Structure 1
């Protein structure tokens, strides 16, 4: 049959301990017989009728006289005794299933049907009562890019909660994108110490920034940007109306009397070319 000497000895030793193979799944309980080997052997296993007959006597409390009516249960925590009590599986099948489940996550019916202890008809009968656990999310691939991540992806960062993730996305929309990861400290709820915790898990692609066409953008669009204060916005609109716009960042900064810090943080978001010009590429 292709078994190794150790595997064959394991089967014989099972019988030598006065144990009886009553169902094919009992073979899988033998030491050294793994799932893949059992699947190869299963079509060739035959159990004589006299051995499949259930024993006449049971110890008190070891058998349920009438099957319990099934109720909803979680497949990842259900006990072998409950599966036996509702009549879904025999005692040995239930134990085999629990042993198999502990090493094979079950999150849907397709994965349940892979268990050799559960037949298709039993799986179909149990389906209305089974509660599956949610599949574990895939491990995040660090670093996470701030300008591409949605709220759910940001939650994978250790140190970012649900509220903070929403605030990061909303602030990104107002900015037009992050050009430095340090800008997260401007988001409500992200402290300096918290930023130090998450900084190694994030990165920032400044090429994704949505720029403002400062010579053409309407007032409502300019007003939404968090770096354009009401006072600065009034100066920009007034000067633009008088001069018609600016061709360089230096001229813009000089006309609007920007401080070096203000000019530096605003510069990545400004475009001085017409919409669709080379500055947008």
Structure 2
């Protein structure tokens, strides 16, 4: 038994020494550095990225730039909050869904100015009405009505631009000729010029061709005509441009109450040059015009039965208002969507208040047909265009996202009592 115990003790001692040697050897070695860990991250930017206007991107296109579905939704919601359009890179950068690193990756491709002075202190101000959406260089000869509308023009403006191109022979020819389009304002041309794929100036030989074309038109033979019976197409067939024809018709219908009563009336139209009048004079017939004038004078309007929300421009002239006053009343009524009180008519700018007051004393006003909304359900376009709402439109749109209650929205707006009172004329 003793021998067995001695063996066990010896085995234990050997095992203990072995453990001590191994531990000493391990602690004597220098510690090796922990291996560096590198994470492989897929690039958040597509392999090929082009210049883009963030105002033109939809949900899917934001995702194609490397944003998640939730981030894309947040960016689009943020765009609505700031007025429906991003006006600068600085404004876009403030969107919390776009990290600083991500913004640096896409910054050089963004087609927006670096900053916008107005945006620094008007967070709810809409983008300028005349600001166009231009995605890159383009040839205007290839643009359709839909393309011009997408850029920011109205349907009527787009049609007029295409008619002007057709008038030039199917091509705008040069930036010089494109600028002459009456529908392109100087502000619009300044924005468009750097992107137009057109020669800067019209070639000299082409100028001669156009000049000869007009000369041939001016020497054409005419048939007798009554200027009171001609429409736009007939005036153009006499050698006038579409714009000149429209001015002549407007001059006749608005300034002369629908009729040229004499050759002198015809000659006074400023788009009819002395040479053109001399060319047309032998063919002008104004027979029976006096009889028609007498017939018109016999037609009297009973203004006690004419609703002020339905009275026409000609009827206002008949009552005794001048064109400026009549135009102001009709224009203001159209913007409002109809008058609710007679005081609104009296407060209209550029009117003869004495004559207007006489009209208000005679004619009735019926506001029952006016469309009214609540602040919560009013269409955005209506809010932004209505004279009484447009300066608060962006705030109303912003507040009603989280507070769809009229009373709370009024509380947030903090308007002067007189402003609130006139806005409520058009609310339910």
Q: TM-score, normalised by structure 2?
A: 0.30
Q: Relative to total residues, which structure has the larger helix share, 1 or 2?
A: 2
1 or 2 for the larger relative contact order (CA 8 Å, sep ≥6)? 1
Q: TM-score, normalised by structure 1?
A: 0.43
Query: Who wins on radius of gyration, i.e. which is larger?
Result: 2
